[in-house]
Structure 1
């Protein structure tokens, strides 16, 4: 995501006034432990990579904080039980920022039927239904009994989306 930031910033601390106390604490914790997260190749981070990673994270947080203020007038979708942070680069590209949201979750043994979707900074909302296995080492296989439960849950979710989109 492209961020709005002070082009003169050279460290994350240059953006600290745009961050929440929780975000600052997270970055300070990360800064204090250069071994976390480990590199995929097992090599240590050099100081410049570490500095640029911390600065990138601060810029991301600053953008999200500014977006929360900029789009505060956009209400979460009715029926949403969780709404994520805004993401995107509307200020630089002209594309709307978006955020994900979650709605109802129906559990059918090891399967879940969830409603949710995305909302853009123009207020447009798109609801969707997701069916997924919530069991470790299960690729979505179901017995006929679970399949009937999932089928009924999908129909209930579709009815819910019809009500929400009405």
Structure 2
């Protein structure tokens, strides 16, 4: 796999023009999709025409190639301390000058059916933006909670804020 990626100036006729920039797993994924143009189905229910399918495959391969190149380009950027998950780099494929970014997750505190999580964004300059998120871990709960759970969540938020202060110091 090479690290040079396609750019808007390149004329790509097929996703296979980018295959040398993809991992074997990514190639297998795109080949499967290529062999089954019915997946994913179009949101409007119409059949997928060959040109739309071809351009979707090229778009996906281009995204994969960019992410692979970004992983090499930004390999020197360490994940934020305390991160338990770090996503792929994302951003402008054509180097507009804006830094690439990736999401990360840290500690999760569970309070009944509510989760208090820390995480955020890291850019390709190494800057991190930490956040605290509170959400329900139940499929059909929009965040409603009893007073007992609310007190647990409040304590977890304070703990998460203290952790962010330590990680940001």
Partner of 1:28: 31
What TM-score, normalized by structure 2, do the two folds share?
Answer: 0.94
- Asked if the contact 1:81/1:102 (under 8 Å) is kept, the reply is yes
1:123-134 equivalences in 2 (<5 Å): 123-134=126-137
Verify the 8 A CA contact 1:90 1:96 in the aligned structure 2.
no
Give the drift of 1:141. Answer: 0.2
Task: Please give the secondary structure, in 1, of the residue aligned with 2:138.
Answer: coil
Specify the SS of the correspondent of 2:117: strand
Number of corresponding residues: 163
Uncovered stretches (5+) of structure 1, i.e. residues with no partner: none
- C-alpha deviation, 1:16, in angstroms: 0.3
Where does residue 73 of structure 2 map in the other structure?
A: 70
In the alignment, which residue of structure 2 is the partner of 1:47?
50
SS of the residue 1:150 aligns to: helix
Tell me the equivalent position of 2:160. Answer: 157
Runs of 4+ residues deviating >3 angstroms: none
Could you tell me whether the CA contact under 8 Å between 1:96 and 1:121 is conserved in 2? yes
Post-superposition CA distance 1:56-105 (Å, at most 9, x none): 00000000000000000000000000000001117531000000000001
Superposed CA offset, 1:18-71 (max 9, x none): 000111111111111111111111111000000000000000000000000000
Q: Distance in 1 between matches of 2:92 and 2:68?
A: 13
Q: Counterparts of 2:113 and 2:139 in 1: how far apart (Å)?
A: 9
**Within 5 Å, which residues of 2 pair with 1:1-166?**
4-5=5-6, 7-89=10-92, 91-166=94-169
TM-score, scaled to structure 1: 0.95
Aligned residues: CA RMSD: 1.1
For the 8 Å contact 2:114–2:135, the answer to whether it is kept is yes
SS of 1:92's partner is coil
